[in-house]
Structure 1
């Protein structure tokens, strides 16, 4: 990941060619401009997002001043935030970077006396690669209801969207939806029937929030328009939408914007009982 990140920095800012250093520059007299990249904290976030590796970048603009560093910082944010990064050569890692912001954007290096501009990016690293995050057309299938929800979502949004189940991959598509099951319960629906309820959370990511909101709205409207979602059409099995809502302010990667409750009514299995072989009636004795 380190080398892939460096390659992307140089691609965005050609002036940094050969001047991106690890942790610190090779000497206090290193010629400016240059950048220093260091891996920060690696924190466990969730089973669907995995770990978040923080990448810190310091931009030293030299005589060009902090104004030039600001220009470079804006270029890096535009070129890296929510953008796929794929390494070349020995480092073939693939990931998507997310700009995290920074508390103190400008600082003074107390050792060299040079001012620099700071940036922080986050890279989500799945706990397990491959099987835990499967696109809609993948070979490995998730839980039955989840698989049906993935197929329905793909049909609603179209082939330009990538739909995943259970967990994010290291490098999701630019337009992507993740569905995961968050809980399940049963309720009595009569003497011979019961309801099976499952709760799902949907995450939507796109290059900008406008596209995310548009997709969220389309899915919520779709759930309202089509109350029954196909589970197995050949066998006439369906699941019904009980609740569907969207929180457009929620974090797309960690929290998810969509909340969905699906319900299916099922017959109780008939209980086996002993057959009555004979009935005898005795008179009531007074």
Structure 2
């Protein structure tokens, strides 16, 4: 880049190329779940002479490699995470400026600071699914439950429960189902796709996963499904990731009560 401008480049066709124009498209407003999210547009401008498409492709790759999933730190803005969103529309020819323009989109995330990152442990199914995923993918991946930490590792998986329902099965039992969705962050699309396929195959082969510390409680794995059209990244409170799976288990209310501590005897001593 010869120059980077904010909002607009100077008038005239003599501006040294290639240059970029950075503009803010808006923000999410922020909430306790995900902090602030800003959307930026990066306009790339190259000369119409000497293979502009090849130069734009090269600049696009350089920007993606430099900014995507990178932690940006500064004394003023503290820290934020950049996510490269790709190209917007098609390349535009500007005869007046003697340039070819390509617009890119970049998300900048300011997570809400947390004193300590604590995984969700109140839902044993989610905890079990997180532990199972960690074992399936190995030490090269980090697996989180419920929400992304402020600074997630580059190769990481986030599991979140999105739906639950219970269906009566007789007078003293019911079938409990929980739908979970996974969000994936990786260095590139190849690693993301490989992890996605590995999880789908592992879930299908597993049939059931343990949800108890004693390995005597299991949840059946139902319909692991890849969502090819999703654009969710896990920073919003709602939405499904690129992988969803339903876990199911038949629960007896009597058995659940029997698992709780029982009163063995009552002793009363009067001091009247």
Alignment partner for residue 259 of structure 1, among 244, 250, 270?
Answer: 244
Q: Which residue of 2 aligns with 1:53?
A: 38
Q: TM-score, normalized by length of structure 1?
A: 0.69
Displacement of 1:214 in angstroms is 2.4
Q: In 1, distance between residues paired with 2:90 and 2:55?
A: 14
Displacement of 1:69 in angstroms is 5.0
Q: Which residue of 2 aligns with 1:87?
A: 73
Q: In 1, distance between residues paired with 2:6 and 2:179?
A: 45
SS in structure 2 of the partner of residue 102 of structure 1 = strand
Q: Deviations over 1:42-91 (max 9, x none)?
A: 35899987775321123344697772852553343442474424234444
Q: In 2, distance between residues paired with 1:223 and 1:173?
A: 23
Q: TM-score, normalized by length of structure 2?
A: 0.72
CA contact (8 A) 2:23 2:42 kept: yes
CA contact (8 A) 1:242 1:262 kept: yes
Larger Rg: 1
Q: In 1, distance between residues paired with 2:30 and 2:245?
A: 22
Q: Which residue of 2 aligns with 1:192?
A: 172
Q: Which residue of 2 aligns with 1:38?
A: 23
CA contact (8 A) 1:162 1:173 kept: yes
Count of matched residue pairs: 247
Q: Which residue of 1 aligns with 2:269?
A: none
Q: Please, what is the CA RMSD of the aligned residues?
A: 3.7
Q: In 2, distance between residues paired with 1:184 and 1:56?
A: 39
Structure 2 counterparts to residues 32-181 of structure 1, below 5 A:
32-33=16-17, 34-42=19-27, 53-61=38-46, 67=52, 69-70=55-56, 72-80=58-66, 82-108=68-94, 113=97, 115-123=99-107, 125=109, 128-130=112-114, 138-144=117-123, 145-169=125-149, 172-181=152-161
Q: Which residue of 2 aligns with 1:228?
A: 208
Q: Which residue of 2 aligns with 1:208?
A: 188
Q: In 1, distance between residues paired with 2:169 and 2:187?
A: 44
Structure 2 unaligned runs (5+)? 234-238, 258-272
Alignment partner for residue 28 of structure 1, among 4, 7, 11?
Answer: 11
Displacement of 1:183 in angstroms is 0.7
